[in-house]
Structure 1
Amino acid sequence: MAQPDARPVQAQLIARTKQGKFDRNGRRDRKMLIAGKKYERGIAMPSPGEIVVQLAAPAKSFDAIAGVDSNDLGYYDNAGRGSVVASVECGSRQVFQSGTLKEGMPGVAIHTELGGATEFRLKLAAVGNRLRTYQGEWDQLDWAEARVTMADGSVVWLADLPAGPLPAPYAVEAPFSFRYGGRPSAEFLGQWKVERESRAIDANRTRIRVTYTDAASGLQARAEAVAYADYPTVEWTVYFRNTGTQPTPILEDIQAIDTQLERTPEGEFQLHHSIGSPNSPTDFRPLETVLAPGSRKAFVARGGRPTDTDLGNFNLEWAGGGAIVTVGWPAQWSAEFVRDKATKVRVRSGQELTHLRLLPGEEIRTPLVVLQFWRGGDWIDAQNVWRRWMLDHNLPRPGGKLPPPMLSSGSSRQTVEMQEANEANQVLYLNRALDAGLKLDYWWMDAGWYPYQQGWYKTGTWEVDPARFPRGFVPISEAAHKRGTKIIVWFEPERVTDGTWLHKNHPEWLLGPDGKDKLLNLGNPDALHWVTEHVSNLIRTQGIDLYRQDFNFEPLQLWRNADTEDRQGITENKYVAGYLAYLDELHRRFPEMILDNCASGGRRDDLETLRRSVPLWRSDFAYDPEPMQQFTYGMALWIPYFGSAFNSLDPYIFRSQMTPALSIGMVAERYENGLPRMKSLLAQWQRVSEFYAADFYPLTPYTTEKSGWLAWQFNRPERGDGVIHAFRRADNAFELAKFRLRGVEAGARYKVTNLDTARSTVVTGAELTQGGLPVTLTARPGSALILYEKLAVAR
């Protein structure tokens, strides 16, 4: 199967001329002709207007020769006709302007620096007395030899580039919408003052800012976009700011994305989407919805936790290509896909409820939106472009490196609950595990280490319990560090219960009634400052190496109860800004530290959160083997790094529970031959864990039935190797299954090794992709781990 084309369009030409078009490399079937000199390459503008050159990477300079074309195209005598001025604009600056140009005059050489811009405009204006022919005015221009030198030194010829508007995020029209003063933005946004600027972030990313300003009220809508040169991807967030001196009119129904995607006439729209993590056996289940003509598919988060019902990731497929649309919002979002009766789908998504006035100087933001276009291959190939983009540009990199496969353990998953933990038993159990030869990356200390009276759930006093830990965590962290292990410590700073320190000392920072869980309002600057300083101090003084944040209740109603009628959505919006600022500040202060994200399992796996943290506990529906297989199958399509725990030394169950980050959820000594068996299984996990960052291919349909097989493949095409995970479930009647692999070379030879039998065979890539890899499992349930690697060609 062909791989999707992950290269972005280098540049795109949008014609906004009087005739609505331009010509390439000539006039009709003739070469460009300026004052008797012919030119092979260039862009011809047949009428006044402009051509917008939009780039996905920074540009250094633009060169061309500008002149009125002299070809006789069947008009009456055109000698001396045409009267135009050519100019080049970059951002708000005019970087070139010619004198008046007429037919027969020599061309004007243009060289202008673009300074890393990603957009500029070629403009043509008619001036003076303009003669007309029976076919119209002769006001036209050739941009001969028109080319862009990119910042990396490569040269792009404008005539070689596709025409027409780019997909919505690149287009001049805003790909977002809102209502203001009762009117939809489509009616007036084009009349507001517009400012555009761009700058290179690095070799692969360019930041584009477009600011719309309402002169009457001072409201600004500022779209901050990032275009990627190494992926067919653009993202943006919109900020609204009141620059006036009075509250704004009502700003409402803000949609971070509001655009149409159009397919070719062939085929139909297929929307691929996934369940979130509502603590069920089908967490992360991939789903597909056919968008028939006139249909609508809507999504909405639940309770203010973004992935409690659905992941905010969508792959809209049509014949020959498609687009991935993602909304990143760690709160209450909604989305809809509305199909017309022809070839278009309207996509809208944003914070579910916005109906508010902005006070002078106040600013809010929309969810993050990502669009990633693809063509060729199929939607699974496109998911692998997404996975690679996630790894290259999103997954946190503490210390500048991607999080490696991780093995952890902790007494709360083995011998003693955390509320029974103390300094002595934590050091004892830590050393016992290390003395047994378990190579732990982290020792995990979960909920309950703080003072409590009625169980771990009573949160809001964030101090290490002096009765159980008189010297804090320092003896534990020092014991771990001496042996090359780090410590994970659990926090839940947002939830506050009655009688705790925060409840007693700062009730003004809390949202919600007494007698129920309250919310520490991260939208309150004082509360945000306190939690940042307090937690940072604990991390620093206690030797904490990995910060784990949980979130075990629904905040939505508390946010909404805090809003007045003309300020609906403001509390949630400011809370999100504070939450993200908190995580960003922890990263800044502790650049080597991994942050873990948990919300009763996987209820906060939005893209904004995943850019700052990793989900080490993917679902509260843990351990059952078939659901655990299903979680990996669905989650790996979108999220390349996640964790769970194992509680069995049965190979079928253990392999069902294997994840990139793995925690020991059992005591080996309780099982016959326990420690040797655990080490053997962990060695297998360690052997295959290097593939978890590779391309991912489901090899069977998703199923919850115990009568089926479930299998998937991780493949590294750059190295020519990979691994297959295969599961025969308890009620399956067939010992043999064949899996047609993907991403391997048909003409290459591969060594295939079963990790259980250690037997290897040599097969061709064609056999693996066409006939399929045969896997035999006599036991049911049963499992197999199979490695393959491409053999070098003998010379």
Structure 2
Amino acid sequence: MTVDLSTRDLTCRLSHDAGLRLDQLALPGNDWVDAASPLFGLVADGVHLHACSDGWQTSEVRIADGPASTGCITRLRHVPTGLGITHHFTVHAEGLIESWLDVRNAGDHPITLTRLDSLTLALKPAACELMYYTAAWGDEFGGVRRPLRAAFRLETRAGRSSNQHHPWFALFRDGVGGMLSMSVAWSGNWCFRFDPHDGGGWLVSGGLSDWAFAIVLRPGETMTAPPVALVLAAGDDLNAISIPYARVGRRRWYPRNALARRLPVEWNHWWSYEDKAIDEATFRANVDVAAEMGIEVCTLDAGWFGPSDPATHWYDYRGDWHLVNTTRFPSGIRALADYAHSKGLKFGLWCEIEGLGRLARLAEDHPEFVATRDGERLGYVCLGNPAAQDWAFETLSRLVDDFALDWVKLDFNLDPGAGCNRADHGHADGDGLYAHYQGYYHLLQRLRARYSEVIWENCSSGGLRIDLGMLRHTHFTFLSDPDWPEHSLQLFWGATTMLAPDALLRWTYSEWINGYPPQQFNPHDPNLQPHELDYFIRIGMLSVMGLSQKLPELPDWVRERYTAHIALYRSLVRRFVREADLYRLTHQPKRDGGGDRWAAFQYALPDADEHLLFVFRLPGGAPSRTLRLRALHPDRDYLLQWRSHDRAERYTGAQLLRDGLRFDDLRERDSALVHIRVGEGNAFAYPVSLSHHAKLDA
């Protein structure tokens, strides 16, 4: 039996004879897989099985048609072991495929699973180059490209999905052409394997990591292996891969509510005050200025909880969320929320619900919640324990209700490694991390169901848990703790190969209180120039815009310039961030002074009639750069309006596609923002005037 899931551009055929295989996966003139490519793999009781192994019986094949996708659900039983597999294979109209497994023990004895590959592909022979990203704190999205010559394993073992490596790769075929990308939708340990295959091909498989992993299924029990997303594209332009990821994310994965769809501008106190310099009066003073500047959310980060002592350190008391530090906040947290609301602002609060500080009383009051490995505390609450899940739900519910929260920043500041192996949490010694993340996802589902209009932000030591699994349960993800300009541009370039800009929260260049060397922003620096400040702020406007500054202490001209940019973001920019396809027009800039020393990003609305172009010249960038734009109508006239100064030019789409747009008037650490629209005449009416004293000079 053959099932054809092909779309206009993609040929995709599955065969259900003697198991399950992928017979064809191709774009026009660009075939990828060998015949009889197995679609999944697993190891059960030490035996490696794949979808074409002997012993499979197919009991059901069902086609599931959606409004913009077609899926094939296949039920199989492996007679020798008694394993039942429900394989899900969905082809989205945007060109992205998802594959995942439900595994059931349909036999009469326990079965131990030690490996689960949600997707396996046997690729045709070709010389290949692999692209992926390394990651660490403050060092996320480090782009790597290397020839694939021998067996290679791309993985994370830190217990957080994007520490060590990001859960994404792209494979480029030399000579033959074309790109293939995969990303696993999982927040814990994961793995992709690249093994030599027949005749010079490659066997690519991935999903959950098999490192320190084992799950025992008793008769009748079922577990789910996380989805792996797959995208194919012709040529070698990464935009052809990233756009399907973003479109499917927006339309099917990312949760949204009215506040999240707005992409509100957020202020957070952290980098300018941290925990010991924030208090009630300081927060209120910042709220006052935030309201004047057009900021829409004020978030109180760590430092609000724990014993009432000015010396209380936030990290030590994570878990004691019932305690408010009344030395810092004598009127309590609800008073701050009410004050922000009285100014027309939303109120946000930081919480590390998984974290367990060394001095937190939670470990004494509920020792059964504590995650341990071989008897040693791991520093977090194991949500594989259903009782701990209920505690977390009740705790966060109380915070939302008592403090009238509109936004919750959920952080996680440690590496769980292989996870908890206690025997009294409901999981076994080999699947504690798996159970924790399933529990965390379930917690987030419950919270979003009860508080449908609250924003739930994902953060984990900045950007160390960014993945397609977490982005199905949270509204925004924080990209990284540091936010100096070149670092932020490298991050944004990398993150948008797998995520849409409106899923990414990024702060403008912050004034740090703790002296971290790359964070040199000083709004009082007499040498700070307007074009430099514009450059810093515009980088934060590429996604969901946030800032962490001492707002009452900003010099007047800096505050006025911030205010003008925020107004422009609200009236114009965020519509593109929310709705447009993003094209990266340069190579990835690097935080160490390497990579491309120009960065340019084009936002193209779906009808191609309106675009927004951000251009940045980094330190060391050549004096001029010509950028070839994308997604334009060749036969239409476009008017280009520079939002920095009074400059408007007209071009045909064919000119911009063929000849590009030249920039030769930007200084280092300078930028341009260009609004491009189809239309007649030489001028437009804009909702925000920048002709006053805070005009954004080029």
Alignment match, 1:626: 486
Q: Counterparts of 2:378 and 2:67 in 1: how far apart (Å)?
A: 47
Secondary structure, in 3 states, of the residue corresponding to 1:450?
coil
Alignment match, 1:762: 650
Q: Counterparts of 1:215 and 1:533 in 2: how far apart (Å)?
A: 44
Secondary structure, in 3 states, of the residue corresponding to 1:347?
strand
Q: For the Cα contact (< 8 Å) 2:158–2:164, is it kept in 1? A: no
Distance 1:6 1:789, change over 3 A: farther
1:195 matched to 2:59? The reply is yes
Give 1:532's aligned amino acid. F
Q: For the Cα contact (< 8 Å) 1:409–1:664, is it kept in 2? A: yes
1:715 counterpart (604, 614, 625): 604
2:242 counterpart (361, 380, 383): 383
Alignment match, 1:559: 420
Q: For the Cα contact (< 8 Å) 2:154–2:192, is it kept in 1? A: yes
Q: Counterparts of 2:370 and 2:449 in 1: how far apart (Å)?
A: 26
Distance 1:793 1:348, change over 3 A: farther
Q: Counterparts of 2:494 and 2:558 in 1: how far apart (Å)?
A: 31
Q: For the Cα contact (< 8 Å) 1:519–1:558, is it kept in 2? A: no
Q: Over aligned residues, Cα RMSD in angstroms?
A: 3.7
> Per-residue deviation at 1:330?
0.8
Q: For the Cα contact (< 8 Å) 1:709–1:726, is it kept in 2? A: yes
Q: Percent identity?
A: 23
Q: Counterparts of 1:717 and 1:367 in 2: how far apart (Å)?
A: 31
Alignment match, 1:155: none
Give 1:236's aligned amino acid. S
Alignment match, 1:610: 471
Q: Counterparts of 2:556 and 2:27 in 1: how far apart (Å)?
A: 67
Q: Counterparts of 2:581 and 2:432 in 1: how far apart (Å)?
A: 40
State the Cα deviation string for residues 608-653 of structure 1 (Å, max 9, x = none): 1011114443112x23221122222222222212112223661222
| Structure-1-length-normalised TM-score | 0.72
2:581 counterpart (695, 698, 707): 695
Distance 1:384 1:286, change over 3 A: farther
Give 2:186's aligned amino acid. W
Give 2:659's aligned amino acid. G
Q: For the Cα contact (< 8 Å) 2:254–2:471, is it kept in 1? A: yes
> Per-residue deviation at 1:433?
2.6
Distance 1:778 1:599, change over 3 A: closer
1:644 matched to 2:542? The reply is no
Alignment match, 2:164: 309
Give 1:711's aligned amino acid. A
Q: Counterparts of 1:677 and 1:333 in 2: how far apart (Å)?
A: 44
Q: For the Cα contact (< 8 Å) 2:411–2:458, is it kept in 1? A: yes
Alignment match, 2:354: 494
2:562 counterpart (646, 657, 678): 678
Q: Counterparts of 2:226 and 2:14 in 1: how far apart (Å)?
A: 29
Alignment match, 1:358: 217
Alignment match, 2:383: 522
Alignment match, 1:114: none
Secondary structure, in 3 states, of the residue corresponding to 2:97?
strand
Distance 1:188 1:634, change over 3 A: closer
Q: Counterparts of 2:586 and 2:156 in 1: how far apart (Å)?
A: 29
Q: For the Cα contact (< 8 Å) 1:777–1:783, is it kept in 2? A: no
Distance 1:168 1:221, change over 3 A: farther
2:190 counterpart (324, 333, 342): 333
Q: For the Cα contact (< 8 Å) 1:271–1:288, is it kept in 2? A: yes
Give 1:784's aligned amino acid. A
State the Cα deviation string for residues 106-165 of structure 1 (Å, max 9, x = none): xxxxxxxxxxxxxxxxxxxxxxxxxxxxxxxxxxxxxxxxxxxxxxxxxxxxxxx999xx
Structural mapping, 1:14-33, within 5 Å: none
1:791 counterpart (672, 679, 693): 679
Distance 1:466 1:603, change over 3 A: closer
Distance 1:579 1:201, change over 3 A: farther
Q: Counterparts of 1:377 and 1:791 in 2: how far apart (Å)?
A: 33
> Per-residue deviation at 1:780?
2.5
Give 1:696's aligned amino acid. L
Alignment match, 1:775: 663
Alignment match, 1:178: 42
Distance 1:510 1:182, change over 3 A: same
> Per-residue deviation at 1:490?
0.9
Q: Counterparts of 1:370 and 1:638 in 2: how far apart (Å)?
A: 10
Distance 1:595 1:451, change over 3 A: same
> Per-residue deviation at 1:497?
2.1
1:655 matched to 2:538? The reply is yes
Give 1:713's aligned amino acid. Q
State the Cα deviation string for residues 433-471 of structure 1 (Å, max 9, x = none): 31xx22222111111211146401021111251625566
Alignment match, 2:228: 369
Q: Counterparts of 1:239 and 1:383 in 2: how far apart (Å)?
A: 28
Distance 1:723 1:241, change over 3 A: same
Alignment match, 1:510: 370
1:251 matched to 2:113? The reply is yes
| Structure-2-length-normalised TM-score | 0.81
Distance 1:392 1:678, change over 3 A: same
Where do 5+ consecutive residues of structure 2 fail to align? 1-5, 511-520, 524-532, 683-698
Secondary structure, in 3 states, of the residue corresponding to 2:244?
helix
1:232 matched to 2:95? The reply is yes
Q: Counterparts of 2:7 and 2:615 in 1: how far apart (Å)?
A: 29
Point out the structure with max Rg over C-alpha: 1
Alignment match, 2:689: none
More moved, 514-523 vs 764-773: 514-523
State the Cα deviation string for residues 723-760 of structure 1 (Å, max 9, x = none): 2222223334x432211112222322211122222200
> Per-residue deviation at 1:333?
0.9
Alignment match, 2:688: none
Distance 1:450 1:198, change over 3 A: farther
Secondary structure, in 3 states, of the residue corresponding to 1:688?
helix
Q: Counterparts of 2:631 and 2:89 in 1: how far apart (Å)?
A: 33
More moved, 602-611 vs 369-378: 369-378
Q: Counterparts of 1:430 and 1:462 in 2: how far apart (Å)?
A: 23
Q: Counterparts of 1:311 and 1:341 in 2: how far apart (Å)?
A: 29
Where do 5+ consecutive residues of structure 1 fail to align? 17-48, 57-160
Alignment match, 2:695: none
1:447 counterpart (289, 297, 302): 302
Distance 1:449 1:326, change over 3 A: same
Distance 1:251 1:674, change over 3 A: closer
Q: For the Cα contact (< 8 Å) 2:254–2:473, is it kept in 1? A: yes
Distance 1:558 1:572, change over 3 A: closer
1:465 matched to 2:324? The reply is yes
Alignment match, 2:343: 483
Structural mapping, 1:354-433, within 5 Å: 354-375=213-234, 378-399=237-258, 403-414=261-272, 416-419=273-276, 421-433=278-290
2:634 counterpart (746, 768, 779): 746
Q: For the Cα contact (< 8 Å) 2:33–2:124, is it kept in 1? A: no
